[in-house]
Amino acid sequence: MKKISLFIVVSIIIITVGGCLTLPKGPKPGTFSSLHERYNVKILRDNWGVPHIYGKTDPDTAFGLAYAHSEDDFPTIADALLTCRGELASLKGKEHAPIDYLAKLLKVNETVEENYSSLPEDVRQLCEAYADGLNFYVSQHPDELPSRYLPIRGQDIVAGFVFKGPFFYGLDNEIMKLFRDERARPVSKKNEEDQTAQAVEQWLNKEGMTVGSNTAAVAPSRTPDGSTYLNINSHQPWDGPVAWYEAHLNSEEGWNCVGGLFPGTPIILVGHNEHLGWAHTVNSPDLIDIYVLEMNPDNPNQYKFDGEWLDLEVREVPLEVKLFGPFRWTVKQEALWSVHGPAVRQDHGVYAIRYSNMGDVDQVEQWYRMNKATNFEEWEGAMRMQANASLNAGYADKEGNIAYIYNAKAPVRDEGYNWEQYLPGDTSETLWDEYIPYDAMPMVINPASGFIQNCNNTPFQTTTGPENPSAEDFSATLGFETYMSNRGQRYLELLGADESITWEEFHTYKFDDAYSEASDEVTIWRELAEAQSDNPLTQEALNVWRKWDFRTNKENTSAAIVMLTLRPNSNDEGVELNEESIQEILDEMTWAAGILKEKHGRIDVAWGEVSRVIRGEVNMPVDGGPDTLRAIYSVFKRDGELVGIEDGQLDGKGGDCYFMLVRWDAAGNLTSESMHQYGSATLRKDSKHYDDQSPLFARKEMRTTLFTKEAVLDNLEREYAPGE
């Protein structure tokens, strides 16, 4: 029996010609060259290159979206689709084999094939039209995808949601832990002494997330003119399969929505229509359980469950890996399945995996219904599907309603176990199949305070006043967060202190670049501000350190030494300050001071000389930093260099990216502003829209979102049908 390694290395030095696989043939791209004749759609590109898709029907619009997005970023779309098929390594090489294995371990394609027909017809039509748009694009650009991968089908679009959704609540990280040299966690025992106390302690100290997003909504009661505001500000990487793309989708069937979507998705994921808008922020409820199976000593493919030996489903999944040119090699790896779900065999045990909504294919339907909702009741009706197993939602509408929903498809679990540990897999007591209902989730709807916010922080500090949910009302088995991000703390401080928030102030608060005095960063700063050093370089750095005002504006001359020393992450959980940890921080400070001296000739260099937006011909200073409301994340490296930059500059890689500020006035009239860190041509370097929004992004200048056709026509760059 082959042992599985998630980090498969397919390295073949010498192979015979007979052992290689040549590139299979698929349908000729010309097969799809007439698909556009089925669809009635126009693409209107505004003067920022943003596509506004006008179709007669919703499928017409989906076809146009696929074609327009492909013009700007088809390679990323193709990679995303092949990843979900488990075929990316066959196109791009051995480094992608582990993610291909994961797609096959989780039976992504089998799940979709089995359940696709259960989707409503309008959802299937939408996905199939989007797939047609991709196929038609390839027919016009056959060099961009080998024909062996055609046709792209509606099932491929659904598979993207099925595969990627669980990663937002950490499934990939939990599976990777199984491939360590030793077991990562102990196995819980039922009703073990202090079991509840252990679970609560682990829950309260739950690791902070490594990604971030912001949302806030303000009701008419807290604005001077009766307006309603919404901040849609999901933080994502600036490049790759989960980088935002902006589009406006309109059809004569009532679909009129603008916002952000990912490569390969046929609907808006965050954004607004004329009636309402919503944002998502990542949350981290405990939606994943790992079971340790008791194996039969006489049969390595049997495990004990409720006193009986059950057979594992044992498969060998093929992983096709590109070698060079047309040659590929197929490696087979073991994949297991148990009553709990997928399973893997390691030297330290056989582990089964169970996660929320395993086997669910309804995600695209939920977002589609949210896109077309016309009021809170309809929008919440879509949310009640709970097809998307996680993600907080912030909401506002033209009627003045605001809401925060802690969305989680949270399992109902036996209170006798510590669910932060691994679970015994030999009993049905740990095999859950029910979920906490939607109405039992933490939520804040139209609070008396007049505002809500979430920045990946605990749902129990969403606003001010008594309407916050209480942690005491929720079981520790759910794993809901209790920590505060700096961003959440700052939003509470800013919005909570302002009883009459103007539209201009709402903008200012969104771009806030400060750390709260209650933040971990300021706590550490205070401790180090009292330090002294015999090292002249360190002492010089300490002198600059003491002048910091907790901000990260580009003119700030102390932010660089603080940021390079602390290197904050999103939602850091802090550090225990003692003699040893203080010395470690001082060592980091000395390293950072050396870098600044070497690259800039001084330690008190302006933060904007270090923190940059670099894209195409653009290289500009940018305010903000990690875990500030103006969130900018860069890559740091300790080995004496800053990653990829020769002159001491940090190139932003994530955080603030595409976002929107939305307003409905007292009469329900809509105003919308948006910003993208790069531009609409996300992967087309020869386009002027590759970097044309980067200067605006660096200067914190929003642009008007063109939502009416009249506004689009007044700012029209090009109008065409796919293929023209």
Would you say 590 and 565 are in contact if contact means Cβ atoms under 8 Å apart?
no
pLDDT at 570: 67
- Across the range 1-21, mean pLDDT stands at 37
Phi, psi of 60 (to 5 degrees): -55, -45
Residue type at 413 in one-letter notation? R
Nearest CA to 142 among 70, 44, 241, 37?
Answer: 70
* pLDDT tens track for 16-34: 333 344 445 678 778 999 9
CA distance 388 to 357: 8
* pLDDT tens track for 705-715: 999 999 999 99
CA distance 401 to 499: 18
* pLDDT tens track for 361-378: 999 999 999 999 999 999
Contacts 24+ apart (CB under 8 A), 154-157: 154/116, 154/124, 154/127, 154/128, 154/130, 155/109, 155/112, 155/113, 155/116, 155/127, 156/81, 156/84, 156/85, 156/131, 157/81, 157/127, 157/130, 157/131, 157/264, 157/265, 157/266, 157/364
Four-point Cα dihedral 10, 14, 16, 19, nearest 10: -10
- Across the range 132-137, mean pLDDT stands at 98
Beta pairing, strands 245-251 & 51-55: parallel
Higher local confidence (pLDDT), 483 or 405: 405
Nearest CA to 282 among 441, 481, 422?
Answer: 481
Q: Is the peptide bond before 442 cis (omega within 30 degrees of 0)?
A: no
Element (H or E) spanning 246, and its range?
strand 245-251
Using the predicted structure, report yes or no on whether residue 15 has a pLDDT greater than 50.
Answer: no
Instruction: Show the 3-state SS of 134-169.
Output: HHHHHHHCHHHCCHHHCCCCHHHHHHHHHHHHHHHH
Using the predicted structure, report yes or no on whether residue 190 has a pLDDT greater than 90.
Answer: no
Percent share of the chain, pLDDT over 90: 85
Instruction: Kindly report the average pLDDT of the chain as a whole number.
Output: 91
Higher local confidence (pLDDT), 200 or 672: 672
Provide the sign of the torsion angle of the four alpha carbons 126, 132, 133, 134, taken in this order: positive
DSSP 8-state symbol, 348? T
Would you say 516 and 496 are in contact if contact means Cβ atoms under 8 Å apart?
no
Would you say 8 and 89 are in contact if contact means Cβ atoms under 8 Å apart?
no
Using the predicted structure, report yes or no on whether residue 163 has a pLDDT greater than 70.
Answer: yes
Domains, the chain, ordered by start: 520-628 (1.10.1400.10)
Beta pairing, strands 213-218 & 276-281: unpaired
- Across the range 78-98, mean pLDDT stands at 94
Sheet holding 270-272, edge to edge: 443-445, 402-405, 392-397, 276-281, 270-272, 256-261, 245-251, 51-55, 41-46, 716-720
* pLDDT tens track for 208-248: 334 579 999 999 999 999 999 999 999 999 999 999 999 99
DSSP 8-state symbol, 631? B
DSSP 524-566: HHHHHHT---SSHHHHHHHHHHTT--SB--TT-SSHHHHHHHH
Please give the radius of gyration of the chain, using alpha carbons only, rounded to the nearest integer: 26
CA distance 408 to 76: 29
pLDDT at 567: 83
* pLDDT tens track for 565-618: 998 876 666 667 888 889 999 999 998 999 899 999 999 999 999 999 999 999
Nearest CA to 304 among 188, 187, 426?
Answer: 426
Q: Sorting pLDDT into bands at 50, 70 and 90, what band is 191?
A: confident
Would you say 104 and 90 are in contact if contact means Cβ atoms under 8 Å apart?
no
Four-point Cα dihedral 411, 414, 415, 419, nearest 10: -60
- The contacts of residue 547 (CB under 8 Å, 6+ apart) are 557, 558, 604
Using the predicted structure, report yes or no on whether residue 201 has a pLDDT greater than 50.
Answer: no
pLDDT at 638: 40
* pLDDT tens track for 40-63: 999 999 999 999 999 999 999 999
Element (H or E) spanning 234, and its range?
strand 228-234
CA distance 292 to 13: 38
Would you say 402 and 228 are in contact if contact means Cβ atoms under 8 Å apart?
yes
pLDDT at 211: 55
Quote the strand ranges of 288-367, DSSP E.
Answer: 288-293, 295-296, 299-305, 308-311, 313-324, 327-337, 342-346, 349-355
What is the phi-psi region of residue 306: left when phi exceeds 0, alpha when psi lies from -120 to 50, beta otherwise?
left
